[in-house]
Amino acid sequence: MQKIPRHKHIGEKIREARKMRGMTLGELADGICSLGKMSNIENGHRSVTNEELERISEKLDFPMSYFSDPDIKNKIKELEYFKHKLGDLIGIEHWEYMESELNKFHSKIES
């Protein structure tokens, strides 16, 4: 069983996503692990296995990378910036520049 490398915010991200979905700790733990273990995961006292994180992701309807990537919030902000920039370029019909920015956006999404 492969363990996801811990970073200090993985449990916080799981808790945040769980609360966004209006789910209790017990509801999230059900079918994944014990309530105590889920509490320890959320509190950062225990690492999470790849299988557990996959099941947590599915149950919360979030991509695994949201939880396992310690820099995901910055990456999301960067993608939001590109999205707004592309919208602005469409608005002013700057098609030549649009193609290069779309390519950059596509590369960021793939990474």
Spans of all domains in the chain: 10-68, 72-110
User: CATH class for domain 10-68?
Assistant: mainly alpha
User: How far is the C-alpha of 70 from the C-alpha of 79, rounded, in Å?
Assistant: 16
pLDDT surpassing 80 at residue 102: yes
pLDDT surpassing 70 at residue 2: no
pLDDT surpassing 70 at residue 51: yes
User: How far is the C-alpha of 3 from the C-alpha of 47, rounded, in Å?
Assistant: 7
Who contacts 89 (Cβ-Cβ below 8 Å, separation ≥6)? 97, 98, 101
Note the pLDDT of residue 31. Answer: 95
